[in-house]
Structure 1
Amino acid sequence: MLRGRVVLPEGQVVERVFASAAQAAGSWRWLPPLEGTVVGALLNYRGELGALGDALSAPPYQAPPKAPILYLKPANTRIGHNHDVVLPADVDGVWVGACLGVVIGRTAARVTARHAVDFIAGYTIVNDLTVPHASYYRPAIRHKCRDGFCPMGPWMVDRDDVPDADALDIAVRINGEIKQRANTSTLVRPIAQLLADVTAFMTLEAGDVLLVGMPENPPLARADDRIDIDIAHIGTLTTALVRHAQEASQ
């Protein structure tokens, strides 16, 4: 089942359940399907980690990470499917972060990998928009936490309707052209292990979303681009980038 939040033409916010993506087509405005905390993990794709090579053994890092590198996407970043993101005047382009979002179904603390699936309600798509930058170990608040930088949706798909979340094809299209392909089978920490590692020190609550990672070589998108992220068995998340009013008036 698909579970989403929409604004009806008369302005009422409602939660809707659909049997299929075709049934979900409508004239309403989509809201983010979840309202909990969004927690992201860096360097969790083998290609992303491998591309850095020996750099992680040199200053300032000294050694590859032994635990997940985490960050948060606060409430100001979250928007729904088919919404516009206004690029800040000081940002020329953003990385498209095609992320599988794992939706937590109940309070998860010190969860074992063996039982992790019992704490998962379902899955959604998240576009972790990021201003390009070089550092991985410093908090990237200025790069990841701009307004609208966490498009999410269109809906949450129930856990049992996704055959194998550790083997999902991901594709990014910019203006209709495929710019990236990935698969969750190349995660450094598969979903169950990532959930276990995170909840070893941090409690996640129902409605929180854990991003499994951003695939290597994220494509760059600029103002006036349309971004579509496709994840198998989940759907397509669409976002349009628009120019800041200050820039557009020049």
Structure 2
Amino acid sequence: MSRTLHDVASGTLFGVALNYQGLLDQHLAAFQQAPYQQPPSKPVLFIKTPNTRNEHDGVVVFPQGERLQPGPALGVVIGQRASRVSLENAMAHVAGYVVVNEFNLPEDSYYRPAVKAKCRDGFCAFGPDWVARDQVTNPNQLSLRLFVNGELRQQNSTANWVRDIAQLIAEISEFMTLHPGDVLITGTPEGRVDVQPGDRVEVEISGVGRLANTVQAEAAR
């Protein structure tokens, strides 16, 4: 029996910030200032809490008085327990891949991603299905595109990652065990756009799939 997306991606959702070179370059000047003095030397992680889980064709609620930005990303589904794995063996711990749209409110700090901005209900959509690792020849060479109401608004390639999948797994598993079902959200590129209630937002990743969600205004309180 084939395993569904919910079967294989039932664990913790780990996001990686600043994993596109263009985005990192945009912030290099700020990272030279106090209190940091230098860019991050390790992956900058955040967690999308269970309440953020959403799905293909799911509704994303636009919070009153805020700005909302989609975050197209490739999700890496962990298939084997990974603890202090080597770079050479890291990909053996991958089950497959999924399209992710990691919604959030605009952020002031990449070093300290705000829970309020990242972890609202329904702010992490993924699907519509997953693709097994062996069905993707090179996950480090995939095109990624964001459409709003059918118009292309953002595009990039996983070739522009700061750290590829093997590097992420090796570095993260140095200090934290990754478990089967966990999902690594490998980062959103520079050029995030604002969306509005009524917008249909789609993320397309070559060889993986196309994920669609609709933005809906928050109900009046």
- TM-score calculated relative to the size of structure 1: 0.84
After TM superposition, give the deviation of residue 5 of structure 1 in Å.
5.0
- 1:147 and 2:153 are equivalent in the alignment: no
What residue number does 2:80 align with? 106
SS at structure 1 position matched to 2:146 = strand
Amino acid at match of 2:12: T
Could you say which structure has the greater relative contact order, defined with CA pairs below 8 angstroms and 6 or more residues apart? 2
Whether the aligned pair in 2 keeps the contact of 1:102 and 1:122 (CA below 8 Å) is yes
After TM superposition, give the deviation of residue 207 of structure 1 in Å.
0.5
Whether the aligned pair in 1 keeps the contact of 2:5 and 2:130 (CA below 8 Å) is no
Whether the aligned pair in 2 keeps the contact of 1:77 and 1:145 (CA below 8 Å) is yes
What residue number does 2:197 align with? 223
- 1:68 and 2:38 are equivalent in the alignment: no
After TM superposition, give the deviation of residue 89 of structure 1 in Å.
2.2
State the aligned residue count: 220
Amino acid at match of 2:63: P
After TM superposition, give the deviation of residue 138 of structure 1 in Å.
1.7
SS at structure 1 position matched to 2:68 = strand
SS at structure 2 position matched to 1:118 = helix
Distance 1:218 1:110 in 2: 33
Distance 1:71 1:132 in 2: 15
After TM superposition, give the deviation of residue 3 of structure 1 in Å.
5.1
Whether the aligned pair in 1 keeps the contact of 2:90 and 2:170 (CA below 8 Å) is yes
CA radius of gyration, larger in: 1
Distance 1:61 1:225 in 2: 38
After TM superposition, give the deviation of residue 50 of structure 1 in Å.
0.5
% identical aligned pairs:
41
Whether the aligned pair in 1 keeps the contact of 2:146 and 2:153 (CA below 8 Å) is yes
Distance 1:5 1:105 in 2: 12
What residue number does 1:234 align with? 208
SS at structure 1 position matched to 2:168 = helix
Amino acid at match of 1:4: T
RMSD: 1.5
Amino acid at match of 2:4: G
Whether the aligned pair in 2 keeps the contact of 1:4 and 1:154 (CA below 8 Å) is no
Deviations 1:16-58 (A, max 9, x none): xxxxxxxxxxxxxxxxx62210001111110000111311111
Query: Where do 5+ consecutive residues of structure 1 fail to align?
Result: 7-14, 16-32
- Counterpart pick for 2:134 among 131, 154, 160: 160
Deviations 1:185-242 (A, max 9, x none): 0111111001100111010100000111111111221211110000000110001000
Whether the aligned pair in 2 keeps the contact of 1:3 and 1:157 (CA below 8 Å) is no
